Amino acid sequence: MRLLVLLFALAMPVVAWLSQAGAFGPDNGTVSDRYPTLLVAAGYAFSIWGLIFLLDVVYAAWQLGGRRRTDPLLGRIAPATATGFALTALWMPLFSQGLFGLCLLVIFGALAALAWAAVQVARAPAIEGGRLWAWLPLSLHAGWLSLAGFLNLAQAGLAFGWIRPDAQLGASLVLFLLAAIVLLELNRRMRGNTAYVAAALWGLVAVWVEQSRSTLPGADTAAPVAVVIAVLLLPQTAWLYWRRRSHEGARASREDARLSR
């Protein structure tokens, strides 16, 4: 299973390159432009995939090396991580083909798998060889998918006729609310994960940028809603971080007191 993590990590940038080259049909940007929504982010935001794919490959190689090959946590999350990477790669050709129903199953499946893995790493006391190279890639990937899934859902709503192109605001506000719940809850479970939140903030600011210049009805409301979600994440992260450090400090003090007896 550890080897599959590496193979699927390598598959993601390869499939992304093929997708952008038109190997599976129209590239993702072309398909996305057919379904403009109030949740879509400015185009520059999607460059984060390059960083995510790079860090995922680094993680996949790192978890195969040295004593990390026998680390129980890395072994436990390997099936979910491999699944998340495989589904991320699969989503790209499906989106190019406009198979939105399958896309939704795949992207939320990837989110569930990688969010679970990221939570396990974020809550782990230690990993053989350090936690950074597991925590950073998985947290960024999960954070970006937490927004991308709802963007995909909004576009599917347009494609299937669930949402009217000229009256998106009501449905979009519901999707913003659901995205906020997912982001805040996963951040809580990760005890204030700065990498996860950084990916989410990158996307939310890009949504604000895009909707601030959009001519779609309701864009003037969608833009500040994205900012509100970002503002909620920042104090939550600071509070969770402070609480975690306080608990760790108290636990260390109790341990020192016990040893000094």
Cα angle vertex 143, ends 3, 246, to 5°? Answer: 100
Q: Are 165 and 38 in contact (CB under 8 A)?
A: no
Give me the mean pLDDT over the 148-163 stretch.
Answer: 94
Encoded tokens for 10: 């390598």
Residues above pLDDT 70, as percent of the chain: 93
Q: What digits encode the pLDDT tens for the residues 19-46?
A: 999 999 999 889 999 999 999 999 999 9
Q: What digits encode the pLDDT tens for the residues 59-99?
A: 999 999 878 888 899 999 999 999 999 999 999 999 999 99
Residue with tokens 């709503």: 157
Backbone torsion region of residue 167, taken as left when φ is above 0, otherwise alpha when ψ lies between -120 and 50, otherwise beta = beta
Residue with tokens 């190997």: 23
Q: Are 49 and 200 in contact (CB under 8 A)?
A: no
Q: Are 2 and 63 in contact (CB under 8 A)?
A: yes
Residue 257 pLDDT exceeds 70: no
Chain centre distance of CA 206? 15
Q: Are 110 and 80 in contact (CB under 8 A)?
A: no
Residue 257 phi, psi dihedral angles, 5° rounding: -65, -40
Integer angstrom CA distances of residue 105 from 23, 32, 44, 241, 248: 22, 18, 26, 33, 39
Q: Are 111 and 178 in contact (CB under 8 A)?
A: no
- In angstroms, rounded to a whole number, what is the distance separating the alpha carbons of residues 105 and 107? 6
Q: What digits encode the pLDDT tens for the residues 109-155?
A: 999 999 999 999 998 876 766 788 999 999 999 999 999 999 999 99
